[in-house]
Chains A and B, each alone.
Chain A
Amino acid sequence: MNTDLLIFFTSGAVAIVATILVITQYNMIHALLYLIVSFLALAVVFYVLGAPFAAALEVIVYAGAIVVLIIFVIMMLNLKKDAEEQEKSWLTPSVWIGPGILCAILMAEILYVLLAGGFEGNATQAVGAREVGRSLYGPYLIAVELSGLLLMAGTIGAYHLGRQRRKVIHRFLEMTDE
């Protein structure tokens, strides 16, 4: 067993454990913190698999931007203490059964497909940032432009949808609006 395989298994295990902890948490912030751990572990996996650029991006964008954004929004929601109790009441053990069975079946099928063969191969050489950059501005240029459009659409949509028009009512006459 070489070192790469060892690192792969270790960080893979960390990722899985962290993900399991994510999906069983009652507190949202705790879940998000475990999610960051999972992403970091996955970044290590990417590096071991020979994709250092992807590893960096995983840390920067996924763990550093998306999860942080979610944390900001949660703080904006200004949730009370009862959110955790509510989550606890919703997440009874019996709820796990159905989806557990479905996903177990799916897992079994994936394992069957993978172990049946036809996926021979090993990661041999790392593909560096230079290769990725050349590929992006070469054959995949249009995709880059389109993703730029996508991001702009996302920005405008997020701004518009997130806007809250506050009706100016005297505070004694404030009614809950639908």
Chain B
Amino acid sequence: MNAIPIEYGLILAGILFMLGMVSVLIRRNIIFMLISVEIMLNAAGLAFIVAGSKWTQADGQIMFIFILTMAAAEVSVGLALILQIYHQLKTLDTDAANRMKG
């Protein structure tokens, strides 16, 4: 492996994270919000991989594995909740679930 400067990797991770965050703030559909959160998590994982490859250690990849695990668990639970919300409110609009207001 020849040299790839670390900054480029981190910048890539940053750009992907920003894109994910913009999408989270914009979308009203719950599923799109979930997708955007996945993008953000992935970008964070990329940052960890980059850091691990700099020090030539396995720790970066291990962190990435844990992020992956957590993302899987979170997606499953989140999708179950989405199913419940759709069943109750008959819509995927997050603004409809506002009974905790005030």
Contact = CB atoms under 8 A, between A and B. Distances in A.
Nearest to B82: A73
Contacts, number: 240
A110 B13 CA distance: 10
Interface string B35-78: 11011001001100110111111111110111011111111110
B65 A57 contact: yes
B82 A127 contact: no
A120 B9 CA distance: 12
A53 B15 CA distance: 24
B76 A158 contact: yes
A53 B58 CA distance: 10
A3 B45 CA distance: 24
Main SS class of interface, B: helix
Contacts of B100: none
Interface in B72-101: 72-77, 79-84, 86-88, 90, 92
Contacts of A155: 76
Given A125-B56, A147-B70, A154-B72, A132 B61 contact: yes
Nearest to A19: B19
Contacts of B77: 154, 157-158, 161
A47 to B, nearest CB: 10
Given A35-B39, A62-B42, A95 B53 contact: no
B73 A150 contact: yes
Interface string A120-139: 11111111000110111000
Interface of A: 2-5, 8-9, 12, 15-16, 19-20, 22-23, 28, 31-32, 35, 38-39, 42, 45-46, 48-51, 53-54, 57-58, 61-62, 65-67, 69-70, 73-74, 76-77, 79, 83, 87, 90-91, 95-96, 98-100, 102-104, 106-107, 110-111, 114-115, 119-127, 131-132, 134-136, 140, 143, 147, 150-151, 153-155, 157-162, 164, 176, 178
| A-B pairs with lowest CB-CB distance, top 7 | A154-B73, A122-B3, A99-B25, A162-B80, A23-B23, A123-B53, A161-B80
25 contacts: A5-B4, A8-B9, A15-B12, A16-B12, A23-B36, A48-B4, A49-B1, A49-B4, A51-B61, A51-B64, A57-B68, A66-B75, A69-B76, A73-B31, A77-B83, A90-B27, A100-B22, A111-B11, A115-B7, A127-B56, A132-B58, A143-B66, A154-B72, A154-B77, A161-B77
